[in-house]
Chains A and B, each alone.
Chain A
Amino acid sequence: MENTIEVDIKVPNKTRYLSLIGKIGEDIARELERYSGDKEVLAYHLNLVLTEAMVNAIKHAGPKEPEKLVRIVITLHRDDLTIRVYDDGQGFDINAIPAPNFEELEDRGRGIFLIRTLMDSVAYRKNCKENMLEMKKKLS
């Protein structure tokens, strides 16, 4: 498992932990020895997609119970970064979410757009037990 890092985190589904999760993404970006792009820009982008995905999981989680957890798994293997965020709520159809209408000023609706813009592939899968938002990025 050379060059593989896997971070498996469970945090309460509360927005106060967004900063903690985002910072883990930033630290991973700064650790990438072979990454040739701007690490600070990548650090922001990973912070952002983790933040957006966790907010999404909190929003779509089941009934608000204090003991509910959000699970986030970040896997770095060679030049491939995969972030998986799990929730056990109703789920949603990610393909049915439209891009923001830039001519209309909406308060909401930019989260999935930002994730899609900053990552190479985004999928949302649902099975009987839980849902998973999977985001991948090539770092080479």
Chain B
Amino acid sequence: MTDAALFQSIIASLPEIVVVTGACVLLILGQLVRKGQEHFLVSASVAVVLIAALATLLLASEVRPAYSGMFIADRFAVFFKLVFYLATILTFLLSRKYADIEGIASSEYYVLLLFALFGMMIMASATDLLSIYVGLELMVLCTYVLTGFLRRERRSNEAALKYVILGAVSTGIFLYGVSLIYGLTGTTQLNAMAQAVTGNPLDPGLLLAVVFIVAGLVFKVGAVPFHMWVPDVYEGAPTTITAFMSVGPKAAGFAVILRVFLNPLVAASDVWIIVAVIAVVTMALGSFVALVQDNFKRLLAYSSIAHAGFAIFGVVAGGQDGVASVMLYLLIYAFMNLGIFGAVIMMRNGDFSGEVINDYAGFAKSHPGLALLMLIYLFSLAGIPPTAGFFAKFYVLVALVERGFVVLAVIAVLLSAVAAYFYIRIVMVIYMREPERVFDPALTPMVRATLAFTALGTIGIGLFPAWFLGFAQQSAAGG
């Protein structure tokens, strides 16, 4: 690589460099911070992400390929990076008080989140199966550790262990697919893959390779049949990390899926039939199993499986609208899901875990404002207008019907009627039951800011979706 090319590559990956440098500096500084001064870590971490966001926006004007085809900074990547920044910053804001309550004092918590962010950013920009792998592993390694962060809790340890083992298996499957691709086509670059196939693109070997890669990626977004880790890991991890995982890494997984699946090689192999089946089964399983959950975090885990299923419908639709619909869905999902998780995190105070749904009985009586926020997030997750969740689903359905997948669209809406049931059930508990306890939410200014911001997004995108839709469509076109 010449000096000029290296310089260009460094410019293109400036946001990543900012994040990783910031994380390293914080790692050292974190050891010097005295007890009671942890808010410094939060502000510093947020500042790092904000600088990275600024760099991303400044560089967004043109498409910048970098590192000899391993990496690209395009609009598609910019969109996803903004979603990651959003998820990370809000997680930081939610974490401060929660970390105190749970007794998480170490600075590594924040550093690991920054490293996970770094991994996600690589995933969004990766254009080579190997750089995808590097980003993926960096991200999941951090989340493995974060999942087990409540060292004294058995649940947390178990979740981390489960996550590591299953994650390693899925990584192995993914790598096996990559090696097959390399053996058959002689390249791992996404763009070169399709051109390298001289013979029949439906060669059984290639098909097998694609299936392995699909399986590896599907694990990361928690879709059936690789969803089994989701409920346990979501339940066991610290709630702030659960919130983060349900939004950031999931969006990163989708970023890769979109890049890989829309690759001509994969698109030619009729893989969409598999994907359609995955979408239907994922949504059905997530929705039906969520019906019987009593634990809020588990319910949200199944709900996130169901939402992943809905977003995969957008992948099935394909085309510019399909891609844009997935992206818009993830953005909106980030707002509403971080909102509802913010509410659950806020409830964790003293001896109150905030994890049992029935414990929320009568919450609307004592805290009408907070209850209203929860109502907004829940109706948005259920996809009821005028909230953003409705528009997210609407646009996926538009993409489906446009491509002629009317039957899939009908299945999708019927399953979302099932899903609506359990969100509405929580509203029922909050609004229609008598309170059994006194609520003392851990409301810090940071948590307040998070809740207000996510609510603003959930309502605002619902009422004025035009700008966000345009942003998603342009970003999809630039990918």
Q: Does B bind A?
A: no
Q: Please list the residues of chain B having a beta carbon within 8 angstroms of any beta carbon in chain A.
A: none
